[in-house]
A and B are shown apart, each in its own frame.
Chain A
Amino acid sequence: MLKFSYCNATDLNQALVQCRFAGSFGPLSSRRRSPRAVVSCSRSNLTPIQAVLSCQQQVRSDPVESELGSLADRLRLGGLTEDGLSYKEKFIIRCYEVGINKTATIETIANLLQEVGGNHAQNVGFSRDGFATSPTMRKLHLIWVTARMHIEVYKYPAWSDVIEIETWCQNEGRIGTRRDWILKDVATGEVIGRATSKWVMMNEDTRRLQKVSDDVKEEYLVFCPREPRLAFPEENNKSLKKISKLEDPVQYSRLGLMPRRADLDMNQHVNNVTYIGWVLESMPEEIIDTHELQTITLDYRRECQRDDVVDSLTGPELAEGSEIHGTNGSATAITREDDLDCHQFLHLLRLSSDGQEINRGRTEWRKKRT
């Protein structure tokens, strides 16, 4: 039985959205999304598409609400696809989102993925208040947290390029949900990147993981593709690759990183995208100067708060069974099957104080095209 209750300003945002760690999110915008937007979905005999469309009808039928929503929507240039099971939005790359390579930074890309995920949730009629949890989840004090984030960028967009990002979510096994993205260059139509993320449910008091119960699952499944749809459908793709833990002694490090005010979300936790920046801090400069990031995979283990001090560690990843082909003692591994200009690294972020692991990561770098 589909059951949506709006009286507690609930929303399934976290289920559908890649959001900041520990499930917090943007400001309350429920005044702009009428409660009536979701009430119509409570008819249990609606098919998924009808449920979505009737939600939107409700939003539009209230002239004040639709006027308030439409201006932002039009500028946002996004909307559900025809079957209502995924969401597409266009973004133009702004000048301050561009880095030393004259192209958008990986943090910009990650921010946009987060943004489009949140807009997806809002577009299907869920508001985006702090916790974005369903009634059942709120009762049990459960929230969504990111477990893994995997981004591949084939071509970085430049300033004033327009990209289109499509996103959707679906169930992942018994304990999680996943959100996938595909990024395209609007001018050429080519796919410039793909990403996938995995989310698990956690009890916000005990901070322990919990299985996704059936009633929670039903609440968001209506917006997910019925057949599995993967951004990375190929077998043995890199998004599934296990990341080994980097052991001491490590080759490169940057110690004493501290969260800035801007890194913290509303619950004073460091947001997901900041970790990407920290991981890159310990990359050797010779790679940063000559290569661009092709792939990044992050496994989130532990949260980080305002007063924590973090060490960022980097070391080459040795391909299984391969030897180190180094020159002059430099130990960057070159895989046999890949291009000689590709480098792979393992990363570790841990607390300076007690060495506890915050997250571990893996990156692949390709030579810059000049």
Chain B
Amino acid sequence: MVATAATSSFFPITSSPDSIDSKNKKLGNGSTNLGGIKLNPSASSGSLQVMANAQAPPKINGTTVVMTPVEGFMSEDAASSTPPRTFINQLPDWSMLLAAITTIFLAAEKQWMMLDWKPRRPDMLIDPFGIGRIVQDGLVFRQNFSIRSYEIGADRTASIETLMNHLQETAINHCKSAGLLGDGFGATPGMCKKNLIWVVTRMQVVVDRYPTWGDVVQVDTWVSASGKNGMRRDWLVSNSKTGEILTRASSVWVMMNKLTRRLSKIPEEVRGEIEPHFMNSDPVVAEDDRKLVKLDDSTAQYVRKGLTPRWNDLDVNQHVNNVKYVGWILESTPLGIVESHELCSMTLEYRRECGRDSVLQSLTAVSGVGNLGNMGEIECQHLLQLEEGSEIVRGRTQWRPKNAKSFGKMDQVPAQSA
């Protein structure tokens, strides 16, 4: 508001103060109209514009409803067309013509607005804080993330842990928006009553391209049934600006009693809660059903011992966050592979949780080089286990040489010269 006051001293205000206020109120904070005179955009600082957008009220489930006053218009006119016909009135009734034109225009505009011809802008206004919203018949949840500086790995792209953190965030926010959050994190009200929780058993992630710092990614997620008593959650991550698909992921969940730790069927009450939200589409990632082998000291080529959870690794239940396992798996992946290749696909089987006092070891074996006809691709098998033997996670990763997709990166020539 300081800027508007400052610039008002440059532009003579012809209207009364009252009308300025009402105009300002209509346009919201940081209005650029003072008494009908448009401010020169270059005179206002960029920050004011950004702030104005940020203060737009967030509409979580917002979809714009386009009102067409067409019907009102027509009836208004019909009521008023009773004057006696003089020779002037023998001319075409312009008001009817005008009404017709307006109708057509408004109808066209309505069509226009409903097409996704400019998808990003309405999204951004409705979701200023990146909370995300339900789209597409209420079954898909969409959220945008800006890649932050500390989410970047050593090779200047978002790390796989960052991507998986985003997947986790959207999953929880989806549950929250759909009203499926009974307790803090993941169980519906019906499940809470019966001490049931969702437990992830399997995760597959395929990365086509890693986003870099400052990129904005759009994450879409939805759930489907998996067998009779399971749930599958899929994610699609795309570049918000270009629409390019960056990552696809799919996870399988089962229901477990949190007290007995035994698997459970989905009770009817819970089925009623969750089935309306199932999309029942095909998995977004083709299921990799090759068996994951269990490594041991003799078959593993690389071992990293003494891995301990830090305070920051624990979630609200004092269990190690799922995503941290991925970091530990990569600890024993040979540095040579990590430096020259990027992770393009990963399959994980979750077996057990671990907590603060666990001591883990990470085992890796390189199981294939140049597989699948792709020169330079490497495949590894992984095991994360407690040092006393219990398995935490089994995994398989595929790596492709970095800059294999360098065609897309050619435009990133840095602005360095001489």
Binding site for B on A (CB under 8 A): 6-9, 25-32, 34-35, 53, 56-57, 59-60, 68, 71-82, 84, 88, 90, 92, 94-96, 98-100, 102, 105, 107, 111, 114-115, 118-119, 122, 127-129, 159-160, 162, 256, 258, 260-262, 264-266, 268, 271, 273, 277-278, 280-281, 288
Whether B311 and A105, one on each chain, are in contact in the complex, defined by CB atoms closer than 8 angstroms, is yes
- Check A262/B161 contact, CB under 8 A, given A77-B54, A99-B311: yes
Q: Which residues of B contact A127 (CB under 8 A)?
A: 415
Q: Which residues of A contact B272 (CB under 8 A)?
A: none
What's the least CB distance linking A121 to chain B, in Å? Answer: 10
Taking A95-B172, A266-B156, A277-B312 as known contacts, 8 extra A-B pairs with beta carbons closer than 8 A to each other, sorted by chain A number, are A7-B418, A59-B46, A75-B216, A76-B146, A82-B48, A96-B165, A96-B169, A262-B153
Contact of B129 among A27, A56, A162 (CB under 8 A): A162
Interface residues of B in 1-46 (CB under 8 A from A): 2-3, 42, 45-46
Whether A100 and B150, one on each chain, are in contact in the complex, defined by CB atoms closer than 8 angstroms, is no
What's the least CB distance linking B342 to chain A, in Å? Answer: 13
Q: Which of B120, B146, B152, B153 has the most CB of A within 10 A?
A: B146
| Interchain CA distance A370-B134 in the complex, whole Å | 34
Contact of A80 among B45, B312, B328, B330 (CB under 8 A): B45
CB closest chain-A residue, reference B155: A266
Interface residues of B in 242-271 (CB under 8 A from A): none
What's the least CB distance linking B110 to chain A, in Å? Answer: 26
Whether A29 and B316, one on each chain, are in contact in the complex, defined by CB atoms closer than 8 angstroms, is no
Whether B130 and A75, one on each chain, are in contact in the complex, defined by CB atoms closer than 8 angstroms, is yes
| Interchain CA distance A114-B148 in the complex, whole Å | 10
Whether B412 and A28, one on each chain, are in contact in the complex, defined by CB atoms closer than 8 angstroms, is yes
| Interchain CA distance A262-B161 in the complex, whole Å | 9
Q: Which of B49, B214, B312, B327 has the most CB of A within 10 A?
A: B214
Q: Which residues of B contact A162 (CB under 8 A)?
A: 129
Whether B46 and A128, one on each chain, are in contact in the complex, defined by CB atoms closer than 8 angstroms, is no
Contact of A82 among B45, B216, B412, B417 (CB under 8 A): B45
CB closest chain-B residue, reference A55: B46
| Interchain CA distance A256-B42 in the complex, whole Å | 57
**5 A–B contacts, CB within 8 A, in A order:** A28-B156, A79-B51, A128-B149, A128-B213, A258-B306
Whether B149 and A60, one on each chain, are in contact in the complex, defined by CB atoms closer than 8 angstroms, is no
| Interchain CA distance A128-B415 in the complex, whole Å | 12
Contact of B212 among A29, A100, A119, A271 (CB under 8 A): A29
| Interchain CA distance A273-B323 in the complex, whole Å | 19
Whether A160 and B131, one on each chain, are in contact in the complex, defined by CB atoms closer than 8 angstroms, is yes
What's the least CB distance linking B354 to chain A, in Å? Answer: 15
What's the least CB distance linking A89 to chain B, in Å? Answer: 9
- Check A84/B327 contact, CB under 8 A, given A75-B216, A115-B150: no
Whether B311 and A281, one on each chain, are in contact in the complex, defined by CB atoms closer than 8 angstroms, is yes
Q: Which residues of A contact B156 (CB under 8 A)?
A: 26-28, 266
CB closest chain-A residue, reference B2: A82
CB closest chain-B residue, reference A111: B150
| Interchain CA distance A30-B331 in the complex, whole Å | 32
A-B contact count (CB 8 A): 178
Whether B338 and A100, one on each chain, are in contact in the complex, defined by CB atoms closer than 8 angstroms, is no
Q: Which residues of B contact A98 (CB under 8 A)?
A: 315-316
Whether B331 and A26, one on each chain, are in contact in the complex, defined by CB atoms closer than 8 angstroms, is no
Q: Binding site of A, secondary structure by majority: helix, strand, loop or mixed?
A: mixed
Whether B316 and A100, one on each chain, are in contact in the complex, defined by CB atoms closer than 8 angstroms, is yes
Q: Does B416 contact A (CB under 8 A)?
A: yes
- Check A26/B149 contact, CB under 8 A, given A82-B2, A82-B47: yes
| Interchain CA distance A219-B270 in the complex, whole Å | 63
Query: Top 10 nearest A-B pairs by Cβ distance?
Result: A27-B156, A79-B47, A79-B50, A26-B213, A30-B415, A9-B416, A111-B150, A80-B47, A56-B46, A75-B146
Whether A90 and B54, one on each chain, are in contact in the complex, defined by CB atoms closer than 8 angstroms, is yes
What's the least CB distance linking B199 to chain A, in Å? Answer: 17
Whether A7 and B212, one on each chain, are in contact in the complex, defined by CB atoms closer than 8 angstroms, is no
Q: Which residues of B contact A122 (CB under 8 A)?
A: 214
Q: Which residues of A contact B214 (CB under 8 A)?
A: 26, 29, 32, 72, 122
Whether A268 and B154, one on each chain, are in contact in the complex, defined by CB atoms closer than 8 angstroms, is yes
| Interchain CA distance A6-B416 in the complex, whole Å | 8
What's the least CB distance linking A22 to chain B, in Å? Answer: 13
Whether A74 and B149, one on each chain, are in contact in the complex, defined by CB atoms closer than 8 angstroms, is no
| Interchain CA distance A32-B165 in the complex, whole Å | 26
| Interchain CA distance A27-B412 in the complex, whole Å | 11
- Check A79/B46 contact, CB under 8 A, given A7-B418, A32-B214: yes
CB closest chain-B residue, reference A81: B47
| Interchain CA distance A78-B146 in the complex, whole Å | 12
Whether A26 and B152, one on each chain, are in contact in the complex, defined by CB atoms closer than 8 angstroms, is yes
Q: Does B159 contact A (CB under 8 A)?
A: yes
Whether A74 and B129, one on each chain, are in contact in the complex, defined by CB atoms closer than 8 angstroms, is no
Q: Which residues of B contact A74 (CB under 8 A)?
A: 50, 53-54, 124, 128
Q: Does B71 contact A (CB under 8 A)?
A: no
Q: Which residues of B contact A268 (CB under 8 A)?
A: 154
| Interchain CA distance A255-B389 in the complex, whole Å | 23
| Interchain CA distance A105-B306 in the complex, whole Å | 24
- Check A94/B165 contact, CB under 8 A, given A73-B50, A81-B47, A261-B330: yes
Q: Which residues of B contact A118 (CB under 8 A)?
A: 149
- Check A28/B414 contact, CB under 8 A, given A73-B50, A96-B165: yes
- Check A261/B311 contact, CB under 8 A, given A76-B146, A82-B45: no
What's the least CB distance linking A61 to chain B, in Å? Answer: 8
| Interchain CA distance A335-B285 in the complex, whole Å | 59
CB closest chain-A residue, reference B3: A82
Q: Does B103 contact A (CB under 8 A)?
A: no
What's the least CB distance linking B163 to chain A, in Å? Answer: 12
Contact of B311 among A72, A95, A100, A273 (CB under 8 A): A100
Q: Does B314 contact A (CB under 8 A)?
A: yes
Q: Which residues of A contact B172 (CB under 8 A)?
A: 95
CB closest chain-B residue, reference A87: B47
Q: Which of A30, A34, A127 has the most CB of B within 10 A?
A: A30
- Check A9/B414 contact, CB under 8 A, given A99-B314, A262-B159: yes
CB closest chain-A residue, reference B326: A262
- Check A260/B184 contact, CB under 8 A, given A95-B168, A128-B213: no
